[in-house]
Structure 1
């Protein structure tokens, strides 16, 4: 589907050439194509359609949908979904379950059910530019539930009937109501050589009686021959396939569609259920199958009632047993469906519980250390040495908490990355040397690098963390003895992983290969789950591989795992490779001063506690501070001040205009005014990066705040 989107003539649409698409559209389309769920990106006021491969199954053979307005793609259902689409364009996330739609698929109208969500797509300023349609077809489950409920009602109604005529009437009436048909008929037949005799029937209002002797013409003989073979006779599409005489007969009765289901006993056609409709229609496979099943059940009920009438006393116990068994089967079927639903929900809750339990456990440990240290720091008789030790313990614990949240954000691919271009070989060589020193003589660390330099585009700090996590896991898997290989391969293709399409690249492949115990096949699908670990308690958090997975996916790559129990494991990271000409030397800046030298800083922070704390930090370090509680207030202060500010220190996530939007506005109106952004987590930062602004992740220390400000001020010059 990615190739079809690239090859499509977008210049002929309102979107224009693909190269001119806005970044938010490119990002959204990329996420859509990578999703295994059926998704479509609907862009602009006309909702031009772009979709992934999974969505093609929803279309079901419709004409080309790419680049066409959504109202044209689903014109037959647009009156039902137009209002929800407009609500999404107005900024509302619209979610609905098991929504019925009459759609065209495979050249025929079809009643289908869908669970879908229309999610607004916004730019960095919060404007809605389109919407993301995530949809799952639930037709099979809805129809299955309706079928089970119908058969349950039918079984109870038929079980209470005591005469064949009553069973016929009840069965056909319920079937007609369930399929929304205008009329039904049931007849007991006695076939002979030149025709058949209908011995008794039940007919819906508006149809003539069917009792009597019938002679067969050529069409009749063909129809009866088919019925005697146990095959249904299906007539639809306005009776077009009937001979003129038969068509006229049906039309005189107002019938436009018919399906006849035979009952065969001892090799003879003994009964017939005829289902009629006065509306033009095409019989679906579900309807044909259901009519056949209901016919068999109805005949079974009739046979049971007739046998009971003949030998009522002898068969009473057996009849009760049969009814009970049928009811138990239906109950068991319902119980199985309910059990499956409960199991799926339990699996979801287990995953959420594992995640929240792991977070709670680790953070409670950290809070315990901080709380205990605070308790001792409040003692008046505490000597200076112990006071410093407790303060250092609290500082180290805060850093561990920040690392823990960073690993969680890395797994969710919501961390703020700082990608750069660098040569991977020397970095891996340094990591191999470090681990070679730490592992001891019993583990051989081998390094395999290509002859030519290999440059990658990624966050260097996150890459080092990922590789070190893998190497430490490899060391532990070898129980302190074996061979550990760190390998770099350039110009690689990325294989299709976890249902994604392969990519040509080029990619740099960084592999960590060990000769350890390997990973059991049933664990391979879980190793990247947060807090999942096979190590003993206290020997690992279960977040290392989560960080690896989230980092490479957010960087535009992926991770491949191959393992054989008892023979070792290979983890391979695929990262985007760039040409050496793309490398840029990092500019050197003068060392920042430790104090503010009375520079004027505008702090923009909506949280009162954080804002007051930052303002106090900067005042204590010699800065002159002005504090705004929103981006709108900050713009007003900058416009009204007589003495210009030297820098802006701004939170990213705020009500109304966010920090990133404020920075972009100031870049346009005050290009010489430095801006430092800060956040613990932001969708805009995680997806679009820092946009060239200095960025300080929360939590931070007073020293880090001052260092960030001094760095941007030193770039600005006197």
Structure 2
């Protein structure tokens, strides 16, 4: 009997969803075949199929979904997949929400939601929807809750339209607030209405005053030509184009332009409005407002000018930084090369000293052998050339010993002209110019003369032996901008300029000009150390050097030395009387190189001195503290050990009487001097040296 009732109830279902429900294989679910459904289930299905509102029934604990045609439309692309599917699988994106629904309603409770915000994937992509939802339990034949009936009313369009209305109201209030602020701030210069059909302009009193209409002119009949006449001629064509575009295309009208005031000056205004059209789409009315924007436009122009100026300043700073970085890289490269050449020169001088000393000793042993003397003289000449080369390397490395003094450049000029003329030849014209102001410098005069001579000889070669060499000196004040990246401080300097009319140099050659051994001359015509020596001397003297050259336009070398305000140094007068001779004085020789130590020992003994030997400062101090009486300490500057040559000099000065000290070195390494500039109380004999130079220096130090 129950089966017949169910079959009869199912047979009465109508509509598309009824056909789908009857055709579905319900035997694969916990509900079983449709002809076994309970009366309550069939009745509820019949009820939801007959409802015009979206209804869905969730039966049993999994919530198998059975719904009507209206819900099928709501489900979108999820239909017909949802039919017979547990609700959590049918709507996985809101599984937690539906799980709570089933728990509450199967327990006998009900749930109601208004404007529930959910994210659903109805058509393959997430969409935000708003729903009014009502959930109630439905009972089986025994009266127990067996499922949930849900009423689903989508309110998305209503919510969206409500939000759009609220946004429109907010925008309106904001626009109204801005308008009120403009009115209260006094920025509004008037309002106007243009009757486009009748070509008649009207406005309020402020508008009439702004456009300089006569006081007797009626406000409802303002000639348009009078308003156009006060618009700046440069702005008028653009304003006409914007008005015409608004008349043809509609939309808002916003134009910024200048108008002439009654005093003849121009002020910036903004005209804002909108064209109204009739039912045929023809322009009807054109209402608008005029605002004062003069201060803003002036500020914008000032900002634009500032921005352009800033861009120029930034560009200049970037260029200056790039140039400074290039100078720094060049200085670092030259510094690295200088450190290398200084070390090489030191070891080279030790070798030359051993060779020279042995050659001199050999010459003393064979005084009557002409062949031996000829070969020895040739070898000694080669040693001298090597010593000169080493001296040039030390000059570039800023490690040559200097004996600076204060003197005026005028005294340099007195003897330099004839010297240069003899060295350069008659075809080179030397033009010496000196400023009327006194120019004094504190540096080594001999080294400066050598530097100028080197530059002059380079200029002679560049001019192929014929041309004009111009040497000019003046006082200059160098500022921060000039000194940046040049290793010199701003202040007063003496500027020496040496300019030739020769072939000049390319930018690439100029970039390598100060590097040692770099030369554009043919092989055998120079060592490439001349400019390197000048560079090192200038830097060691606290100055700066730069070169300006262009192919075919000659070269100018600029030297800058710190200007001295001290009095010029007076050279000491020669002492009268016979020169002292060696009288058996005892000399302590401190030298770590065994070959040099041996040859110096033999040289000194042949010169008539008694000799004590020490391999380093520690050994020398042991000799001195043992009670040995010495008349002079002859020490190498650079030695291993804890006791340095400077420590020996300090000990010698503290003795009563003081023991004189004579230093010798391939280079000083700043141990006995500051920046290798020797003070008058420091005596240095540079390696390599011969017997005569050694004897002369010993006599000088002992007599002092």
Q: TM-score range by the shorter chain?
A: 0.3 to 0.5
Please tell me whether Structure 1 or Structure 2 has the larger radius of gyration of its CA atoms: 2
Scaled by the length of structure 2, what TM-score is found? 0.47
